[in-house]
């Protein structure tokens, strides 16, 4: 995918001098345009909702934002009990305003440190939220997700992937350079895309404890956004 690599390289060069933004700060600064921007993934949200099992009663949404995936999930499962975790208070407030009649439990915390519990949920979903982190960090989160699921529970991840190892390497190298330039510690959450290759993403989920992990696929015309399913 040389074209993808060249496009990424050109974009990184054009944004070379832009300072890194904190994760919460990035989204809160764009909250009024966020849903319009994310509308391009409307069919992905619908697809995720359609993949959930008919027996769904409880669901955890990590990095839930304003709940765009929940708009479709609630449409299919109006009585599902939802717990949403996100760093942004403003995002969670928008979600609550849309779905307060559903009484979602909303937690303003980062999902790496948040207590997700043990065998609480029938399903866990993550939509376009995990493409900012190293594989080792994800492995620990996937273990928490695995533990939070009931036996037979399903984890759905829809997210960017790096379509080549060269793209993964370039993204992580540039993120590291900008962190050093801006004096930002390695563990601080910043908004900078560092997607893993599909191979590395699937491997991280397996290392989190899941034995059944599969690529569901890609929607037509989009080879960057993978739908992945794992079963406990």
Predicted confidence (pLDDT) per residue in 195-224, tens digit = 999 999 999 999 999 999 999 999 998 999
Report yes or no on 1 lying in a domain: no
Report yes or no on 4 lying in a domain: no
Question: pLDDT value at position 171?
Answer: 97
Question: pLDDT value at position 156?
Answer: 98
What are the helix and strand counts (H, E) for the chain? Answer: 9, 7
Question: pLDDT value at position 104?
Answer: 98
Report yes or no on 6 lying in a domain: no
Question: pLDDT value at position 1?
Answer: 57
3-state DSSP assignment of residue 107: strand
Backbone angles phi, psi at 213, to 5 degrees: -135, 130
Report yes or no on 111 lying in a domain: yes
- Strand 105-108 and strand 121-127: pairing? unpaired
Report yes or no on 138 lying in a domain: yes
Tell me the pLDDT band of 28, cut-offs 50, 70 and 90.
confident
pLDDT, tens digit, 9 for 90 and up, residues 123-139? 999 999 999 999 999 99
Q: How many domains does the chain divide into?
A: 1
For residue 52, what is the domain's CATH number?
3.40.50.150
Q: Which of 82, 83, 94 is nearest to 28 (CA)?
A: 94
Say how far apart CA 22 and CA 14 lie, in whole Å. Answer: 20
Report yes or no on 5 lying in a domain: no
In terms of residue numbers, what domain contains 41? Answer: 21-160+186-231
The pLDDT of residue 14 is above 90: yes
Give me the chain's average pLDDT, please.
Answer: 95
Question: pLDDT value at position 24?
Answer: 86
Report yes or no on 123 lying in a domain: yes
Q: Which residue has the higher pLDDT, 35 or 75?
A: 75
User: 184 Cβ partners below 8 Å, 6+ apart?
Assistant: 20, 178, 190
Q: How many CB atoms lie under 10 A from the CB of residue 141? A: 21
């Amino acid at each position: 995918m040389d074209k993808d690599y060249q496009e990424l390289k050109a974009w990184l060069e054009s944004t070379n001098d832009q300072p890194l933004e904190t994760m919460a700060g990035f989204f809160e600064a764009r909250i009024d345009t966020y849903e319009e921007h994310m509308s391009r993934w409307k069919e992905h949200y619908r697809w995720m909702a359609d993949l959930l099992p008919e027996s769904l009663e409880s669901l955890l949404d990590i990095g839930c934002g304003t709940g765009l995936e929940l708009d479709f999930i609630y449409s299919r499962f109006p009585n599902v009990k939802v717990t949403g975790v996100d760093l942004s208070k403003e995002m969670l407030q928008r979600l609550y305003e849309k779905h307060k009649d559903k009484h979602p439990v909303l937690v303003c915390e980062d999902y790496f440190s948040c207590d997700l519990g043990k065998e609480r949920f029938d399903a866990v979903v993550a939509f376009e939220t995990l493409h900012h982190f190293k594989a080792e960090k994800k492995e620990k989160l996937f273990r928490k997700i695995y533990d939070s699921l009931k036996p037979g529970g399903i984890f759905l991840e829809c997210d960017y992937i790096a379509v080549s190892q060269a793209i993964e390497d370039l993204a992580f190298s540039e993120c590291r350079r900008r962190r050093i330039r801006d004096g930002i510690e390695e563990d601080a959450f910043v908004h900078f895309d560092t997607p893993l290759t599909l191979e590395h993403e699937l491997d991280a989920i397996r290392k989190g404890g899941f034995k059944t992990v599969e690529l569901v696929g890609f929607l037509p015309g989009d080879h960057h956004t993978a739908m992945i399913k794992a079963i406990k």
